[in-house]
Structure 1
Amino acid sequence: MDYIRLLIADDDKEIRELIRTYLQRENYEVDTAADGEEALRLCDQYNYNFILLDLMMPKLDGIEVCRRLRQKTNVPIMMLTAKDQEMDKVIGLSIGADDYMTKPFSVHELVARIKAQLRRFMVLGSSENIVQRERSDDLLRYKGLLIDIRKYSVKKNGEEVALTAKEFELLKFFASHPEQVFTKTQIFRQVWSSEYLEDDNTVMVHIRRLRLKIESDPSHPSWIQTVWGIGYKFVGEKDES
């Protein structure tokens, strides 16, 4: 990762500058935006590797910016929210945000989460050596579902399915451990590379969103099944062809 460019969008100048200072210490190129419209203009101008969006911004809020960005990019997006914005967190995750943090937050934890997102999105997505070290076979084949780990792509019945980076990581994790039951905490630790699970919404919303994309009937899922009182498991018939 020789050149990494990040965007920080927040209407609070002190927060923008604080985060930028810490990220520049990690040798990242960092741009900032004070409102949602400026954030979108910058995204049209530059190719970012990570985007941090404050939920409440003038002109366009973080949810609307995230929604528009998800129409054209799968770059990792994290939302900054206030503690009393529970429903907005769920909405943000449901339209494509990969993660969120509540204010006030630890800058050190924020930087750690950003670095984890970048590793998974850039290194696992582009480095064949790392992927092959995790799994010698680049393809996970199930009847009706093909997951190409090296290309970060998924096909359902031969048709390409557009997933965000976090949705792909979630599906890859499940499909790599068929029939194994995982709790929400276990899933969070494996997919989000963190020991800290703020609440159940992060995992639940991402699973709900993934089901909408890969399940024929999301209300009665056949791939990612709920194990009541415990968590979730992946069920699928291996395709040996």
Structure 2
Amino acid sequence: MKEYILIAEDDNDINQMLKELLEQHGYETVQSYAGTEALLYMQQRQPAAVILDLMLPGKSGEDVLREIREKYPKTGVIVASARDEVQARVSLLRQGADDYVVKPFDTEELLARLEAVLRRREVSPKEGNGIEKGKAGRILEYKDIRILQDDFQVQAGGRELALTKREYLILELLMSNPGKVFTKSNIYESVWNEEFLGEDNAVNVHISNIRQKLAKAHPGESYIRTVWGIGFKMD
């Protein structure tokens, strides 16, 4: 089955270029030119991924991203924007974007990033401490966190959490072996499926996001410990 990609871009030329590029490479696409239109399409059919411009009429790209993360946590989001400041990229990653490309972008790079985002959607269940099997499928448990691996759902304090795919994969990795300290390199190469070059702040950003979401579900509880100079483990 072809992967279904939503293009949310108000520039007609870029939108059409993306449609043609993606369809040439075997994807099914739908085009939207405004934030509200993009969300309407998502209500009708959830895409595997969204290529999201920030400067959209109706609802801004940031507003669309927030709503996607609240309602469609399994959908991948690649932000495509002319804004190339580091702070802008970090801010969008904190808000839940899976990746970020700066316009004008190389089409081969965009395709490679899209493929990586889609690969990360296919979460392979892992053996490890705290796994149980039952009618609900494969479950990872630590304290009051439950990961329903077959459904890609995370619960904490009895509440379901809306995690991005990378946040989900990081938490699943840490919970697969709660006593182990995972280095940033371990986490980055497992989740991003790319070589860790030692300077990327993405792991810290995503760990911070996970902690904030867990804290909202269960204030006062500590789940992830920073092992200074080494990495992270379940607390």
Answer whether contact 1:81 1:89 (CA < 8 A) is retained: no
- 1:222 aligns to 2:215 (yes or no): no
Q: Which runs of 5+ in 2 are unaligned?
A: 132-137
Match of 1:144 in 2: 144
Q: Deviations over 1:170-211 (max 9, x none)?
A: 11122224332312x442222122337796343332211111
Give the counterpart letter for 1:204 in structure 2.
N
Which amino acid in 2 is paired with 1:30? T
Measured after TM superposition, the shift of residue 216 of structure 1 is 6.9
Q: Secondary structure at the match of 2:46?
A: coil
Deviations 1:65-96 (A, max 9, x none): 11122232111112113353433323322222
After superposing the two structures, state which structure 1 stretch, 82-91 or 141-150, moved more: 82-91
CA distance, structure 1, for counterparts of residue 64 and residue 198 of structure 2: 24
Instruction: State the match for 1:182 in structure 2.
Output: 183
Q: Which amino acid aligns with 1:180?
A: V
- Aligned partner of 1:227: which letter? V
**Separation in structure 1 between the aligned mates of residue 199 and residue 218 of structure 2, nearest angstrom:** 23
Inter-CA distance 172–222: structure 2 relative to 1 (3 Å threshold)? same
Deviation (angstroms), 1:21: 2.3
TM-score, normalised to structure 1's length?
0.78
CA distance in 2, matches of 1:14, 1:225: 47
The DSSP-based 3-state class of the residue aligned with 1:16 is helix
Larger displacement relative to structure 2 (208-217 or 69-78): 208-217
2:98 aligned partner: 98
Once the two structures are superposed, the pairs formed by residues 9-158 of structure 1 within 5 Å of their partners are: 9-74=8-73, 75-121=75-121, 123-124=122-123, 130-131=124-125, 134-135=126-127, 137=131, 138-158=138-158
1:146 to partner: Cα distance: 2.1
Number of equivalences: 225
CA positional deviation for 1:12: 2.7
**2:85, 2:78 → 1: CA distance?**
15
Counterpart amino acid of residue 106 in structure 2: S
- TM-score, reference length from structure 2: 0.80
Indicate conservation of the 8 Å contact 1:225/1:235, yes or no: yes
Does 1:171 pair with 2:206?
A: no
Match of 2:134? Answer: none
- Distance in 1 between the 2:127 and 2:54 partners? 37
Instruction: For residue 77 of structure 1, give the secondary structure of its aligned residue in structure 2.
Output: strand
> One-letter code of the match for 1:207?
I
Farther-moved stretch of structure 1 (15-24 vs 82-91): 82-91
Q: Is the 8 A contact 2:3 2:48 kept in 1?
A: yes
1:186-205 equivalent positions in 2, closer than 5 A:
186-195=186-195, 200-205=200-205
Q: CA deviation at 1:159?
A: 3.4
Contact 1:212 1:218 in 2 (8 A): no
- 1:7 deviates by 0.7
Match of 2:135 in 1: none
